[in-house]
Amino acid sequence: MAREQLATAARYLDLNDGLHQVLASPMRSLVVNFPVVLDNGEVQVFEGYRVQHNTSRGPTKGGIRFHPDVDLHETTALAMWMTWKCAVVNIPYGGAKGSVKVDTKQLSMRELEKLTRRFISDISIVVGERSDIPAPDIGTNAQVMAWIMDTVSMHAGYTVPGCVTGKPIELGGSEGRVEATGRGVVTAMEEAAKSMNLNLNGAKIVVQGFGNVGSVAAKLAEAGGATIIGISDATGAIYNDKGLPVAELYNRYSGRDGGIREYKDCQQITNEELLTLPCDVLIPSAIAAQLTKENADKVKAKLIVEGANGPTTPEADHIFSDKGILVVPDVLANAGGVVVSYFEWVQDLQNFFWEENEVNNKLTRIMRHSYAAVESMMKAHKTDMRTAAYIIGVKRVADATIRRGIYP
């Protein structure tokens, strides 16, 4: 899928074969097999990867995922997508991704810490604050980032906060990082609404997934005057045409065993029903491949803003395009997270920290600017917004590659 999307952008850009080949290949892939002594004294070997896709525009950046289903191919595709995402919002990074094949639910905290420290030690031959900067992804969080920062610092002999982002604030994390992706999603939604003449004040919004991205997007959209009529999490979906109380759902129900389905003043619905509710905006912010050729025809939203990575399949994209539903693609809509990760890195390198307002204002400016650039590319090429975003991202990386030249 990643290579197919690149090929589409390459056709618009008329890229020559050699350059296309460079961009289609990961620059460096490291596979490690490393042992961890479990709490019961037994040794288990885990497989992990770090893939760096492209460094034409700067050091590489990308999350570390702990999940039983990861493999080298998926990690490579995710690294390539990070390259385009960083280029679309014009921050000076290439893309990378790391992963370890592990079910973290089977590990104690101590085992998770040992696995993290050993993995980062083994990939330290390729990662570092000037070369490749990891961040959280599925199965990893601020605590894991803190262990990474500590391990790298122990090896260096001094504290190296810039070696990883998504850290706790007290260890050099950035104000505004936790809300950054959801905030960026809402900014992208506002820009799209403006160009569609859609008034968000009183608009009906449906949010799939109520974790970091979905809950912040719902909260900020509600604060802007919209009514959140449908929300789901892994336990199920709820609906109330008069509006759902986002803060109460988050504070009292989310993350608990019963999840948001425990809330009573609403109708319980299925995930399928949630995605096809009559609404103005749909914000998928859970997992990949949710909008498919099976349900795309039934979607009634006027605008889809992708909080999640890859929630829309290429077949569904075609259907939305035919129906005139605007899809703001993930590489643009959810780029707020990596933008504020970049701010965190800049602050760490300078040991000079910004107030939350400054972070949020700079983020909003980048999101608006990037949205405008993608929208005008979309109009210029009479294409969909995903292709337009890819054209911009791929062109910036291709131009940097040409400018630098092929060494030696």
In the complex with ligand NAD, which residue's Cβ is closer, 212 or 347?
212
Instruction: Identify the active-site residue in 97, 114, 219, 302.
Output: 97
Long-range contact set of residues 111-118: C-beta below 8 Å, sequence gap at least 24 = 111/36, 111/38, 111/39, 112/144, 113/147, 114/36, 114/37, 115/36, 115/46, 115/66, 116/140, 116/144, 116/147, 116/148, 116/151, 117/147, 117/148, 117/150, 117/151, 118/34, 118/35, 118/36
* In the complex, minimum distance from the CB of residue 142 to ligand NAD, in angstroms, rounded to a whole number: 11
- Is residue 97 part of the annotated active site? The answer reads yes
To ligand NAD, the closest distance from the beta carbon of 188 in angstroms equals 12
Do 29 and 49 meet the contact criterion of CB atoms below 8 Å apart?
Answer: yes
Number of residues interacting with ligand NAD: please give it, by CB under 6 A: 20
**CB of 351 vs ligand NAD, minimal distance in Å:** 24
CA separation for the pair 143, 146 (Å, rounded): 5
The reply on whether position 95 binds ligand NAD by CB under 6 A is no
Pick from 188, 201, 212, 213: which is nearest to 326 by CA?
188
Q: Which of 308, 326, 374, 392 binds ligand NAD (CB under 6 A)?
A: 308
> CB-wise, 36 or 266, nearer to ligand NAD?
266
Beta-carbon contacts of residue 339 (< 8 Å; ≥ 6 apart): 89, 91, 180, 184, 363, 366, 367
Give the C-alpha separation, 381 to 377, whole Å: 6
Q: Whole-number minimum distance, CB 11 to ligand NAD, in Å?
A: 27
Q: How far is the CB of 96 from ligand NAD (least distance, A)?
A: 15
Least Å from the CB of residue 93 to ligand NAD: 14
Contact code string over 204-243 relative to ligand NAD, x by CB under 6 A: ----xxxxxxx-----------------xxx---------
Distances, alpha carbon 174 to alpha carbons 152, 171, 346, 351, 368, in Å: 19, 9, 10, 11, 21
Nearest approach, Cβ of 228 to ligand NAD (angstroms)? Answer: 14
Helical H segments across 94-205, by residue range:
109-122, 142-156, 177-196
Question: Which region among 41-49, 196-204, 305-313, 317-325 touches ligand NAD (by CB under 6 A)?
Answer: 305-313
Which one of the spans 52-60, 152-160, 262-270, 281-289 is the region binding ligand NAD (CB under 6 A)? 281-289
Select from 3-11, 142-150, 244-252, 304-312 the region that touches ligand NAD (CB under 6 A). Answer: 304-312
Spatial CB neighbours of 322, under 8 Å, sequence gap ≥ 6: none
What is the β-pairing status of strands 204-208 and 132-136? unpaired
Stated length of the chain: 408
Task: Pick the stretch among 18-26, 108-116, 122-130, 302-310 that binds ligand NAD (CB under 6 A).
Answer: 302-310
Window 259-278: contact mask with ligand NAD (x via CB under 6 A): ------------x-------
Query: Binding ligand NAD by CB under 6 A: which of 5, 54, 55, 285?
Result: 285
**Per-residue b or e along 294-304, where b marks 16 or more CB atoms closer than 10 Å to that residue's CB:** eebeebebbbb
Residue among 268, 165, 185 at smallest CA distance from 226: 185
Q: Which of residues 312-351 bind ligand NAD (CB under 6 A)?
A: 334, 337
CB of 279 to ligand NAD, least distance (A): 16
Q: CB-wise, 132 or 344, nearer to ligand NAD?
A: 344
Rounded CA-CA distance 133/63 in Å is: 8
Q: What is the phi/psi pair of residue 195, to 5°?
A: -75, -15
Binder among 24, 287, 373, 400 for ligand NAD (CB under 6 A): 287
Closest CB to ligand NAD: residue number: 211
DSSP tag of 138: T
For the segment 156-195, give every residue that binds ligand NAD (CB under 6 A).
181
Q: Which one of 286, 366, 385, 394 is in contact with ligand NAD (CB under 6 A)? A: 286
Write out 186-221 in H/E/C secondary structure: HHHHHHHHHHHCCCCCCCEEEEECCCHHHHHHHHHH
- So which residues are the catalytic ones? 97
Instruction: Give the binding site for ligand NAD (CB under 6 A).
Output: 181, 208-214, 232-234, 271, 285-287, 307-309, 334, 337
